[in-house]
Amino acid sequence: GESVGLHLPTLSVQEGDNSIINCAYSNSASDYFIWYKQESGKGPQFIIDIRSNMDKRQGQRVTVLLNKTVKHLSLQIAATQPGDSAVYFCAENYSGGTSYGKLTFGQGTILTVHP
């Protein structure tokens, strides 16, 4: 079936390092992708999104890269801070279907930032 998955379930980095979190998706029809951050006890929080007509999008300290050829998505966090410690999820969406409101999430990567 269609799925969104992550290569690495955990990632530990030192404060100030750059972090890269990866995600593989299998639905070639998906045309919209979102990265979420989820802290303990809270709901997923939007970080950045990208449409399939782009291959890179930058936000504040974050960059999302999309490689449609290999169906791969990554989130880069620059100068990682302890406050970035959380679980990160990628999610995909197919905007052309009747269920355009539906997001399919991956399993999540735990990011731990050491001071």
Partner 1 sequence: GAGVSQSPRYKVTKRGQDVALRCDPISGHVSLYWYRQALGQGPEFLTYFNYEAQQDKSGLPNDRFSAERPEGSISTLTIQRTEQRDSAMYRCASSLAGTGGTNYGYTFGSGTRLTVV
Q: Is 13 in the site for partner 1 (CB under 8 A)?
A: no
- Short-list 108, 82, 59, 88, CA closest to 13: 82
Asked whether position 106 contacts partner 1 by CB under 8 A, the answer is yes
The answer for residues whose C-beta is within 8 angstroms of residue 90's C-beta and 6 or more apart is 4, 6, 23, 25, 33, 34, 35, 36, 73, 75, 105, 106
Question: If binding means CB under 8 A, how many residues of this protein chain bind partner 1?
Answer: 27
How far is residue 50 from each of residues 13, 17, 42, 67, measured CA to CA in Å? Answer: 25, 24, 23, 11
Q: Does 101 bind partner 1 (CB under 8 A)?
A: yes
Q: Does 99 bind partner 1 (CB under 8 A)?
A: yes
Candidates 19, 44, 80, 86; binder of partner 1 (CB under 8 A) is: 44
Check binding of 41 to partner 1 (CB under 8 A). Answer: yes
Q: Which spans of this chain sit near partner 1 (rule: CB under 8 A)?
A: 4, 31-32, 34, 41-46, 49, 51, 89, 91, 93, 95, 98-108
